[in-house]
Amino acid sequence: MNNLSPVFYNAESVRRVLNWPMVNEAVEAALKAVVDHTSEPNANAVVEHMDQDQGNEMQSNNSTKSYVSQPARSVTIAGNDPSKLMLTMPAFVGNYRLTAGGAGGDATNVARSTLACKVVTSFRANRQLQPPLPSICANIMLFNVKTGELEAIMAGTDITTWRTVSASLVATKYLYFRRFGPRAEHQLEINVAIVGCGAQGQLHAAAMCANFKVKQLNLYNRTESQAVQLASQLRQRLSSDSSNSYATDMPDIKVCSSAREAVAQADVICMATYAREALVHANDLREKRSVHINAVGAGEVHFGEVSADIYAESLVYVDCMSNAEHELVGLPAPIAGELGGVIIHGNYPDEQAVTIFQSMGMASEDACVAEAVQSALLSCAK
């Protein structure tokens, strides 16, 4: 039994090891694990018609699949002030793998399980303090899966931001690029629109350029100066970042005066605003559709920033169907499926489809990324 005090990893330590291959792999693992494997088509019928050895082998393979247990998040109001909240998001992810792109070291590609809980406090008045403090503070606790002991506490704000962006990257890979072929994400150039240039929009813009061949990057923000600042930062960063495999082909970065202008010729659109009303409509999209939208905004309703007429012609995918049933009440379109199911089964959309990834975020994503971060930190310490 471990009687040592839990290790604390501060934000600086976490930032030191965060990278896209690691985070993308961990998020993809979480997305696949949340899929209900027992509902795979005719799985039991197939086993019944096999000989005993074949049936036993298939059942064994099914038993080694990853899986998730993640209850709905709880919300606690601090006193009588609804602007002061604490949210708890527990998750267990069982029997998943991280390869060299993730954990690395001796733990490479070894099946693992993670028990974690993210605790987030949201105190909106913190921004008015002198000096101001962040209104959102997140920490992730990692527990020993055999004993339940608390092993580590990790600053979770950056992990939350990165895993949200990573889910959009994974969605873009499988819902957009893979409709054109098995390696299209390495070959095709795309036009990207970023609507909303806050923290999420900024990281989405940088991540799209770091992971894909972005030819045109359009930026729109309600306060234009923020988009101008982001454009300047991206030009400087991309021109000097030798680690970016696509940095040799600098995208044309343009600040747009409207969301409509930004999305007009976009292949991939990232919506990251608190907008109460729709900012983009069906007639704003290019006539030749083949468009993918990552909707990550967190307004009064999750789907408020995209118009109902776009939903009407779109295939909508989510990270977790059970979460969607609670958080997407009133969504103006049926849900086509979970992103993890598309990854597992390869049932990619048609080339001309409009797809929407309705991102809500999952505790299992936080758990897998935190596990990968801890593995990377422990590997660095050796």
- Residue-wise pLDDT for 360-381, tens only, equals 999 999 999 999 999 999 998 8
pLDDT for res 127: 87
Domain membership flag for residue 99:
no
- Let me know if residue 95 belongs to a domain: no
- Work out the burial of residue 335: count CB atoms within 10 Å of its CB; fewer than 13 is exposed, 13-18 middle, 19 or more buried: middle
Residue 155: which of 254, 9, 253 has the closest Cα? 9
The tokens for 349 are 């959309």
pLDDT higher than 70, residue 190: yes
CATH number for the domain that contains residue 299: 3.40.50.720
Determine the Cα–Cα distance for residues 51 and 63; give it in Å rounded to an integer: 18
In a domain, 200, yes or no: yes
pLDDT of residue 105: 45
Task: Indicate the number of domains in the chain.
Answer: 1
Condensed to tens digits (0 to 9), the pLDDT of residues 311-341 reads 999 999 999 999 898 889 889 999 999 999 9
259-310 tens-digit pLDDT: 999 999 999 999 999 898 999 999 999 999 999 999 998 766 778 999 999 9
| Residue 37: band (very low, low, confident or very high) from pLDDT cuts 50, 70, 90 | low
Q: Contact at 8 Å (CB) between 250 and 239?
A: yes
* Residue 272 counted as domain residue: yes
Alpha carbon separation from 244 to 51, 208, 209 (Å, rounded): 51, 11, 8
pLDDT at 56: 42
Is residue 212 a part of any domain in this protein?
A: yes
Can you read off the two tokens belonging to residue 138? 């997140």
Q: What is residue 114's three-state secondary structure?
A: strand
**Residue 84: which pLDDT band, with cuts at 50, 70 and 90?**
very high
pLDDT value for 101: 52
pLDDT value at 109 more than 80: no
Long-range contacts of residues 129-137, Cβ cutoff 8 Å, at least 24 apart: none
Instruction: Please tell me the predicted confidence (pLDDT) of residue 140.
Output: 98
Segment 33-56 shows an average pLDDT of 50
Mean pLDDT of the chain: 89
H helix intervals, the chain: 11-17, 20-33, 43-48, 52-63, 157-171, 184-187, 199-211, 224-240, 259-263, 308-312, 321-327, 339-345, 363-381
Q: In this structure, is residue 206 part of a structural domain?
A: yes
The pLDDT, as a whole number, for residue 300 is 66
CA–CA gap between residue 5 and residue 232 (Å, rounded): 45
- Percentage of the chain lying above the pLDDT 70 cut: 87
Q: Are strands 291-295 and 314-318 parallel, antiparallel or unpaired?
A: unpaired
Identify the band that residue 99 occupies on the pLDDT scale cut at 50, 70 and 90: confident
Q: Is residue 121 part of a domain?
A: no
Position 169 scores a pLDDT of 98
**Measured at the alpha carbon of residue 41, what is the angle toward residues 36 and 42, in degrees to the nearest 5?**
120
Contact 9, 368 (CB under 8 A): no
HEC readout, 340-368:
HHHHHHCCCCCCCCEEEEECCCCHHHHHH
Q: Greater confidence, 51 or 180? A: 180
Distance CA 248, CA 209 (A): 11
251 by DSSP, 3-state: which?
coil
Residue 327's pLDDT is 86
Which structural domain range is residue 265 located in? 161-363
**Confidence bin at 63 (pLDDT 50/70/90):** low
Q: How far apart are CA 171 and CA 73, in angstroms?
A: 23
Q: What is the pLDDT of residues 215-244, one digit of tens each?
A: 999 999 999 999 999 999 999 999 887 555
- pTM to 2 decimals? 0.89
* pLDDT above 60 (res 80): yes
| pLDDT higher than threshold 60 for residue 45 | no
Q: Name the least confident of 104-113, 151-160, 188-197, 275-284.
A: 104-113
Q: For residue 214, is it within any domain? A: yes
